[in-house]
């Protein structure tokens, strides 16, 4: 008795939970207006799962917990469509749409035709059968007459209702529509696949098709699939037009594309096509055109069919976003910051509405991952206004052995060495000060306020000076004469005088300013200061090895490798020499001459300190100490802050001297350093 009372209570709750879950599903997938956060939805679903586990007799096939069914299948059964799934006639040009419109007007003997205009979704066609309001089968299109039974897979797609909402639906209802993969889901899926070294999906359409063909529904359930309904197989219990039918389907719980409109005449159709074409890239899912359907069923029936396509509908395609062409060569371009980008030279191909001859290949890692080689047949993709890219190579079409592409070791613009920092995707030219591709950028940076602060030397003037051939490195600035400057556009005698004065004034920078102004990668003002303080002179810095560079506070291995690569360049050294020859005299940041109190000592910082750790490190380094990360027999002192852990223990074990932060401050006082 107690058991059955508990069970009937559970049954009532299960019923309520299903109602709530179905309602939230409807808000989310059909109205696109969720009422509760995902976490709340998950809680309801979890509660229902728990209840059903406790009372298995309460489980029903249409329960939202029953989307992912049991065991993998051996294959798919064949299903014969009660009503064939037809195809659509295609048009690519507006002239073909005009022909279609004319035929429709002639057939109906009128010229005020109303159409339902819809996005043509780029996914997989599906037919869903509902009996007594419950989903019983889902079949692919196949050859239009017979498709495959993919019910177990389609049940896992939450946008597909397992049970119809509301009332008034016929006993047997067959709804047709498109299963698709939203772009965001596609991208997330592929990012994860790459992280796990798994094969990524080629594009959202293939992703949708492949997901439906999984033999294990558990796999399909993991794919980000969605659904839009666009028609029915029969018209029982339905309104008398396409547009109103879709509205009714929405009421019964089917997601219907929100972009569908009623339009009138040829003009209405073409305007819809143009408008959606412009917004195509921002839709969140792929479409390959629009579909015009004569809206009134009575009119559709008059027009009828020709072969396998209705006379009352037309697919007006957009230019394809992907096309195949031959990759002729891979060239390398140098950007204004020195980044080397491989550029694909292509046999011209019409894609995404324009003729494409060049496309990006991003970087060398991407080329290797996609295994794209000059001579390959490749798929070029251009979506919206996005820069065309080589999406993939068709390896099956390789006729001969093709050589792999390699990044050049020297810059194609200036011949300087190319560096590739480990862990970074990009290769870069190290000749920033002389490379024609980068020269404007590097001179502009040199002149900025935080760098050499050359007043009056703005971007436009730099451009003119370079374009007129008056300067080709920063050192040339100091050889400009009055007449040369005054002869430039928008410059006069007075502004030439002012610029010469500003240049003169900039000839005695502190060493750190100069280092910053040189535009070495990853060397900002703070790092420039640390380098200048540590080495004292340019000469010392020029001789520093990569290893010595890492001893500088806030210089890690990556920064050290950039600095070392920069100074290893003969070209860059020449520019520095030329600056000196032009009379530039850089000043040491602080006099580091003589002995430092902590010379030869190695310190380790641990625990939390009241001052920023870099500050403590900088101070110690400026006093001559080396600061390292781990305690060893070579450690001289461990500075232990609050809650110091294993490093402190190790120091104690090894008998290394440990001082507290208070003691450290006392020591700083003694050194005359106040914080």
Which residues are part of the catalytic machinery?
Answer: 120
DSSP symbols for 251-264:
HTT----TT-EEEE
- Residue closer to ligand IVH, measured from CB, 309 or 491: 309
From 35-43, 113-121, 461-469, 522-530, span contacting ligand IVH (CB under 6 A): 113-121
- Residue closer to ligand IVH, measured from CB, 73 or 86: 86
- Residue closer to ligand IVH, measured from CB, 65 or 231: 231
Question: Please, what is the minimum distance in Å from the beta carbon of residue 211 to ligand IVH?
Answer: 16
From 81-89, 319-327, 429-437, 486-494, span contacting ligand IVH (CB under 6 A): 81-89
Q: Which residue is nearest to ligand IVH (CB)?
A: 125
Question: Please, what is the minimum distance in Å from the beta carbon of residue 290 to ligand IVH?
Answer: 8
Q: Which of 415, 410, 421 is nearest to 563 (CA)?
A: 421
Tokens of 444: 């502009």
Q: Is 536 exposed, middle or buried (0-12, 13-18, 19+ CB in 10 A)?
A: middle
Q: Which residues lie closer than 8 Å to 524 by C-beta, 6 or more apart?
A: 516
- What is the rounded CA–CA span in Å between residue 430 and residue 39? 51
Contact 314, 291 (CB under 8 A): yes
- Residue closer to ligand IVH, measured from CB, 144 or 583: 144
Q: Is 519 exposed, middle or buried (0-12, 13-18, 19+ CB in 10 A)?
A: buried
Binding test (CB under 6 A) with ligand IVH, winner from 174, 178, 321, 389: 178
Question: Please, what is the minimum distance in Å from the beta carbon of residue 463 to ligand IVH?
Answer: 51
Strand partners, 86: none
- Residue closer to ligand IVH, measured from CB, 310 or 335: 310
- Residue closer to ligand IVH, measured from CB, 59 or 86: 86
Q: Which of 314, 200, 189, 293 is nearest to 244 (CA)?
A: 293
Binding test (CB under 6 A) with ligand IVH, winner from 68, 86, 302, 558: 86
- What is the rounded CA–CA span in Å between residue 87 and residue 313? 10
Q: Which residues lie closer than 8 Å to 267 by C-beta, 6 or more apart?
A: none
Binding test (CB under 6 A) with ligand IVH, winner from 14, 97, 125, 619: 125
- Residue closer to ligand IVH, measured from CB, 172 or 209: 209
The DSSP element (H or E) to which 50 belongs, if any, is helix 38-54
- The answer to whether residue 332 forms part of the interface with ligand IVH (CB under 6 A) is no
Q: Which residues lie closer than 8 Å to 309 by C-beta, 6 or more apart?
A: 86, 87, 88, 89
CA 119-120-124 angle, to 5 degrees, is 130
- Residue closer to ligand IVH, measured from CB, 128 or 454: 128
Question: Please, what is the minimum distance in Å from the beta carbon of residue 174 to ligand IVH?
Answer: 13
Contact 334, 435 (CB under 8 A): yes
The site that binds ligand IVH (CB under 6 A) totals a number of residues, namely 13
Strand partners, 360: 343, 389
Q: Which of 527, 513, 515 is nearest to 451 (CA)?
A: 513
Within positions 279 to 298, which residues make up the interface with ligand IVH, using CB under 6 A? 291
Binding test (CB under 6 A) with ligand IVH, winner from 22, 52, 118, 321: 118
Question: Please, what is the minimum distance in Å from the beta carbon of residue 231 to ligand IVH?
Answer: 5
- The answer to whether residue 313 forms part of the interface with ligand IVH (CB under 6 A) is yes
Binding test (CB under 6 A) with ligand IVH, winner from 44, 45, 48, 88: 88
Three-class SS string for 534-590? HHCCHHHHHHCCHHHHCCCCCCCHHHHHHHHHHHHCHHHHHHHHHHHHCCCCCECCC
From 117-125, 333-341, 377-385, 525-533, span contacting ligand IVH (CB under 6 A): 117-125
Within positions 218 to 247, which residues make up the interface with ligand IVH, using CB under 6 A? 230-231
Within positions 397 to 436, which residues make up the interface with ligand IVH, using CB under 6 A? none
- The answer to whether residue 205 forms part of the interface with ligand IVH (CB under 6 A) is no
- What is the rounded CA–CA span in Å between residue 116 and residue 186? 29
Binding test (CB under 6 A) with ligand IVH, winner from 24, 120, 158, 163: 120
From 118-126, 192-200, 372-380, 585-593, span contacting ligand IVH (CB under 6 A): 118-126
Q: Which residues bind ligand IVH (CB under 6 A)?
A: 86-88, 118, 120-121, 125, 178, 230-231, 291, 310, 313
């Amino acid at each position: 008795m107690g058991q059955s009372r508990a069970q009937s209570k559970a049954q009532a709750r299960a019923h309520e939970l299903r109602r709530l879950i179905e309602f939230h599903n409807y808000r989310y997938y059909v109205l696109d207006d969720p009422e509760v956060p995902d976490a709340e939805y998950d809680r309801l679903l979890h509660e229902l799962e728990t209840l059903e586990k406790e009372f298995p007799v309460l489980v029903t096939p249409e329960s939202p917990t029953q989307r992912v069914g049991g065991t993998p299948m051996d294959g798919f059964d064949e299903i014969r469509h009660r009503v064939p799934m037809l195809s659509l006639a295609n048009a690519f040009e507006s002239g073909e749409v005009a022909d279609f419109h004319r035929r429709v007007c002639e057939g109906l003997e009128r010229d005020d035709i109303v159409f339902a205009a819809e996005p043509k979704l780029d996914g997989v066609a599906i037919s869903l059968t509902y009996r007594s309001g419950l989903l019983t089968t889902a079949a692919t299109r196949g050859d239009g007459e017979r498709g495959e039974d993919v019910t177990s897979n389609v049940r896992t797609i939450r946008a597909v209702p397992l049970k119809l909402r509301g009332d008034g639906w016929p006993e047997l209802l067959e709804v047709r529509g498109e299963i698709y993969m939203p772009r965001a889901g596609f991208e997330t899926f592929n990012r994860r696949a790459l992280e796990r070294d798994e094969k990524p999906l080629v594009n959202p359409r293939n992703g949708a098709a492949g997901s439906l063909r999984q033999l294990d529904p558990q796999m399909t359930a993991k794919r980000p699939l969605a659904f839009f309904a666009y028609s029915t197989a029969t018209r029982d219990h339905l309104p008398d037009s396409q547009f109103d039918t879709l509205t009714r389907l929405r009421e019964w719980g089917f997601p219907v594309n929100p972009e569908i409109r009623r339009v009138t005449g040829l003009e209405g159709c073409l305007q819809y096509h143009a408008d959606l074409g412009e917004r195509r890239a921002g839709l969140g899912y792929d479409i390959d055109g629009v579909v015009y359907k004569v809206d009134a069923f009575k009119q559709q029936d008059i027009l009828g069919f020709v072969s396998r396509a209705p006379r009352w509908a037309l697919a007006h395609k957009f230019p394809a976003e992907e096309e195949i062409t031959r990759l002729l060569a891979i060239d390398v371009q140098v950007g204004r910051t020195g980044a080397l980008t491989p550029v694909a030279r292509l046999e011209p191909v019409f894609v995404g509405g324009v003729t494409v001859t060049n496309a990006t290949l991003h970087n060398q890692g991407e080329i290797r991952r996609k295994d794209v080689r000059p001579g390959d047949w490749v798929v070029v993709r251009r979506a919206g206004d996005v820069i065309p890219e080589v999406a993939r190579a068709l390896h099956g079409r390789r006729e001969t052995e093709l050589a792999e592409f390699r990044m050049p070791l020297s810059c194609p613009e200036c011949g300087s060495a190319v560096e590739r920092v480990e862990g970074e995707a990009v290769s870069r030219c190290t000749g920033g000060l002389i490379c024609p591709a980068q020269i404007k950028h590097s001179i502009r940076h040199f002149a900025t306020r935080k760098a050499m602060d050359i007043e009056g030397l703005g971007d436009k003037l730099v451009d003119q000076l370079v374009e007129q051939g008056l300067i080709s490195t920063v050192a040339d600035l100091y050889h400009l004469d009055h007449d040369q400057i005054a002869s430039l556009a928008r410059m006069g005698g007075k502004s030439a005088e002012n610029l010469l004065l500003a240049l003169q004034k900039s000839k005695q920078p502190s060493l750190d300013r100069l280092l910053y102004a040189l535009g070495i990668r990853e060397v900002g003002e703070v790092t420039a200061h640390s380098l200048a303080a540590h080495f004292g002179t340019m000469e010392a810095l020029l001789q520093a090895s990569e290893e010595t560079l890492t001893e500088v506070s806030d210089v890690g291995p990556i920064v050290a490798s950039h600095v070392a690569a920069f100074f290893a360049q003969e070209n860059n050294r020449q520019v520095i020499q030329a600056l000196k020859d032009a009379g530039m005299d850089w000043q040491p940041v602080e006099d580091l001459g003589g002995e430092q109190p902590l010379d030869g000592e190695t310190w380790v910082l641990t625990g939390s300190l009241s001052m920023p750790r870099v500050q403590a490190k900088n101070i110690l380094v400026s006093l001559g100490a080396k600061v390292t990360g781990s305690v060893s027999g070579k450690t001289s002192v461990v500075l232990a802050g609050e809650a110091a852990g294993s490093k402190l223990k190790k120091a104690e074990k090894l008998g290394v001297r440990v001082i507290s932060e208070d003691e450290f401050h006392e020591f700083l006082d003694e050194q005359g350093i106040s914080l």
